[in-house]
Amino acid sequence: MKILVIGASGRVGTDLVKQLLADNHQVIGTTRQDKKLFDDEKYSQLDLDITAEKEDIQTQIDQNI
């Protein structure tokens, strides 16, 4: 299953991503960090600022997909 984790760099998000990857899910993590958080072929990362306005968030998603 493909799962989006908002805040993958936080304490809870990091633990959640680790568990999802261990369970063989495809995970897309969001973070404002440039460095890729997990070295796993099933993990990809979006640079996303969820504090932005809705239209700006949609633009960020469109640019990163």
**pLDDT (tens digit, 9 = 90+) per residue, 3-57?**
999 999 999 999 999 999 999 999 999 987 888 999 999 999 988 888 889 998 8
| C-beta of residue 26 within 8 angstroms of C-beta of residue 3 | yes
Structural domain count of the chain:
1
Give 39 or 58, the one with higher predicted confidence.
39
Cβ-contact 32, 7 below 8 angstroms: no
Q: pTM for the full model?
A: 0.78
Residue 10 one-letter amino acid: G
Domain range spanning residue 35?
Answer: 2-64
Max CA distance (Å), the chain = 34
